[in-house]
Structure 1
């Protein structure tokens, strides 16, 4: 398949899932049997739009720190695991992916060789990494491309004496003023997606909220924060683990933060409600709401804050229809219920609750083995290369060989991902929140 046909095919492959499986015909590099004449017709129809859109180039800067600067706060167990998993999700898709973290012994054993590609999460290394990425993105802009920066933090957060949010690096705090001065304001990125999993993360990005200061200081603080208001940067979208002064939670069963695991599940394709290969902010938000809906314990409920970039409220957080360097798992119609994907290292990659009537496509890092699991059953699969597609409908299922590991929090074990996510839940959720919905476009019918 030539390069232009491959580009068109990447844009439509997810929409073609509803026609799965078509009659036998030559298979494409992505694994779908589409038939080459239809491919050329689609290319001819869509090429003007493809030519007009600048190429988007992704960059990811991931900071993951278990340690806290506050001696009263216990160290986290899984922030470094979250950083490693974010890295493995973004590295096949991004032009440059940076991980600032100190991986503990267990995480290094799960992710062999990754420690050699990490740097410590210090202010100096963060500054150096931002300078390099900004230089690369500036060159992209000169070449007519549209660079996109993902800035991801997972670790400890808190509010300072004046109410300003901050997160913990190894050698000092990184506060909201630093975020705007060092990350947002100087960035040449066309879009910036901020993903923060930390206690009080809302106050790390937003200046709203009570400031415990005297009346005489109010005007000065307000003027200081005005230049750092999120609304002044319409190219910036944010996804935060808390929308107020709330804690974020870790879960030992998945060895990860609950919010970060849900975000990665969504970005891998579990939140793609209209099956166009793109995950928009409203889809991610609704997916997390569905996943958390059954959790009754208020301490375990997520209270997230998400806002798409005002410059383009339909901007995709994840666009898996592009040639991403990932492989694809198709979970077809007929398979349903609460399911999860775990690789052969024991790393939990994604969770979801699938409706029976609709297929689902997950993007997975290639060159490794996986298990697709549901209660009491599992199926082994191999994602042997980038662009491969594995149809779960053809896998051999067997009784699960995995026993319960360690203490499992009852609310998460029994209720998390307990509600099916699909068009009905999504439509009701976005209507209740006043969000603009995605277009439920089924795409062209490519069945024979």
Structure 2
């Protein structure tokens, strides 16, 4: 009998308890040479008086910080948290600075110094540069994002972030209107059924190719309504990305989330949404230097705890903490196990459309087995047409090896190695 996903999950638990991650035919523990750093810029404010401020960019920044800070040697959050966000994340405001140009450049300078020291010591520093907020495209076609004191343009991005970076790998994640033009050159965004191929071809001749250590994950949605969801107080794209990074996109149970897995996960999550206001245009490309570079790696030691959802449990699920913050959402195939990384030191609910189960992750590296949780009935309130579209259809398509295989075959993305499920033949 082949190794099943349940057995892979047991290997996962061995890792999480410190024994090292064992895969069929190989052994892979954490990489002691890899170090991670995170810089998050989250800004609700718009520089255009005709453009309304966002409501949840600061919430997204806070949630990215809580997920990535326990995995990072240093994490910096530049944001002005509104009163509601400060109430949800007590104490976090004291660790933030305003999202201004001076604060951004100062943070980059400090992170680059630490990453240069890591390189000198033989380590591979990885930088996550995340922006969530307003984006815009000027008359000449150059994109920019909004800082508190002015625009930060595509030229600024290359000259002040990418070119001087001492990171061995740089993951650039942008959730903003017109974010494609913030990373890529002037000109019209390719449209039509071959959007992905056209964007890839467009990128190949542009400046990003000069930086093979840089990977990008972009939302190119133009409508504010389409990428903010009041039911979860977050941006839909950022919510999907965080869910993927927490482990929901780990299709082959190796503890890593690669670019192809994240892309397929977001495609499956959005596939059932028919309301045009809820549709997102997504583009992602891994670093050319290493197309298999993980965006997330649960094998790295961190302060996260873990929720194991075993084989046999499936359907649409989400995890909220006792503050009402939704951390991860997914539609799980019953045939595979799933492990999620969650911030430690708080209580959680694992929820489905009809039930919920309470659990606590008391400390980092703790593993909670969802197979042993007690479930109670859950009632869900409707919030309107678009809320219903997201509630009923977002994450309505199951994500697993079957969807993933079809997705990578249709896009040409570099695939991960899939491991066989149980042999059910007599």
TM-score normalised by the chain length of structure 2: 0.88
For residue 441 of structure 1, report the CA deviation from its aligned partner: 3.6
2:165 to 154, 164, 187: 187
Larger gyration radius, structure 1 or structure 2: 1
Query: Are 1:309 and 2:287 matched, yes or no?
Result: yes
Q: Distance in 1 between matches of 2:173 and 2:318?
A: 23
Aligned partners of 2:272 and 2:397 also within 8 Å: yes
> Could you tell me which residue of structure 2 aligns to residue 57 of structure 1?
35
> Could you tell me which residue of structure 1 aligns to residue 341 of structure 2?
363
Query: Are 1:390 and 2:368 matched, yes or no?
Result: yes
Q: Distance in 1 between matches of 2:83 and 2:282?
A: 31
> C-alpha offsets along residues 73-103 of structure 1, whole Å, 9 cap, x if unaligned?
0010000000000000001000000000000
Aligned partners of 2:177 and 2:219 also within 8 Å: yes
- Structure 2: state its 5+ residue gaps: 190-202, 422-426
Equivalent residue of 1:92, what SS? helix
> Could you tell me which residue of structure 2 aligns to residue 6 of structure 1?
none
Q: Distance in 2 between matches of 1:433 and 1:227?
A: 19
> Could you tell me which residue of structure 2 aligns to residue 258 of structure 1?
236
Q: Distance in 2 between matches of 1:21 and 1:181?
A: 44
The change in CA–CA distance for 1:114 and 1:333 in structure 2 (over 3 A counts) is: same
For residue 322 of structure 1, report the CA deviation from its aligned partner: 1.5
- Paired residues in the alignment total 401
Aligned partners of 1:29 and 1:388 also within 8 Å: no
Equivalent residue of 2:301, what SS? coil
> Could you tell me which residue of structure 2 aligns to residue 344 of structure 1?
322
Query: Are 1:353 and 2:331 matched, yes or no?
Result: yes
2:7 to 10, 19, 25: 19
Aligned partners of 2:318 and 2:350 also within 8 Å: yes
Q: Distance in 2 between matches of 1:398 and 1:376?
A: 9
> Could you tell me which residue of structure 2 aligns to residue 30 of structure 1?
16
> Could you tell me which residue of structure 2 aligns to residue 76 of structure 1?
54
The change in CA–CA distance for 1:28 and 1:277 in structure 2 (over 3 A counts) is: closer
2:138 to 160, 182, 190: 160
Aligned partners of 2:359 and 2:373 also within 8 Å: yes
Q: Distance in 1 between matches of 2:236 and 2:301?
A: 29
For residue 71 of structure 1, report the CA deviation from its aligned partner: 0.3
Aligned partners of 2:8 and 2:253 also within 8 Å: no
For residue 29 of structure 1, report the CA deviation from its aligned partner: 8.6
Q: Distance in 2 between matches of 1:148 and 1:203?
A: 24
> Could you tell me which residue of structure 1 aligns to residue 276 of structure 2?
298
Query: Are 1:85 and 2:63 matched, yes or no?
Result: yes
The change in CA–CA distance for 1:16 and 1:108 in structure 2 (over 3 A counts) is: farther
> C-alpha offsets along residues 315-340 of structure 1, whole Å, 9 cap, x if unaligned?
00000112122111001111111000
Aligned partners of 1:202 and 1:245 also within 8 Å: no
1:97 to 65, 75, 84: 75
> C-alpha offsets along residues 92-116 of structure 1, whole Å, 9 cap, x if unaligned?
0000000000000000000000000
> C-alpha offsets along residues 199-242 of structure 1, whole Å, 9 cap, x if unaligned?
0000000115239xxxxxxxxxxxxx999711110000000011
> Could you tell me which residue of structure 1 aligns to residue 381 of structure 2?
404
> C-alpha offsets along residues 330-386 of structure 1, whole Å, 9 cap, x if unaligned?
011111110000000100000000111111111100010000000121000000110
The change in CA–CA distance for 1:28 and 1:249 in structure 2 (over 3 A counts) is: closer
> Could you tell me which residue of structure 1 aligns to residue 193 of structure 2?
none
The change in CA–CA distance for 1:351 and 1:166 in structure 2 (over 3 A counts) is: same
Q: Distance in 2 between matches of 1:305 and 1:209?
A: 16
The change in CA–CA distance for 1:41 and 1:416 in structure 2 (over 3 A counts) is: closer
> C-alpha offsets along residues 40-67 of structure 1, whole Å, 9 cap, x if unaligned?
9979x978x879x661100000000000
Q: Distance in 1 between matches of 2:381 and 2:416?
A: 38
Aligned partners of 1:81 and 1:256 also within 8 Å: yes
Equivalent residue of 2:59, what SS? helix
The change in CA–CA distance for 1:154 and 1:41 in structure 2 (over 3 A counts) is: closer
Aligned partners of 2:309 and 2:339 also within 8 Å: yes
Aligned partners of 2:40 and 2:65 also within 8 Å: yes
> C-alpha offsets along residues 264-288 of structure 1, whole Å, 9 cap, x if unaligned?
0000000000000000000000000
Q: Distance in 2 between matches of 1:259 and 1:435?
A: 20
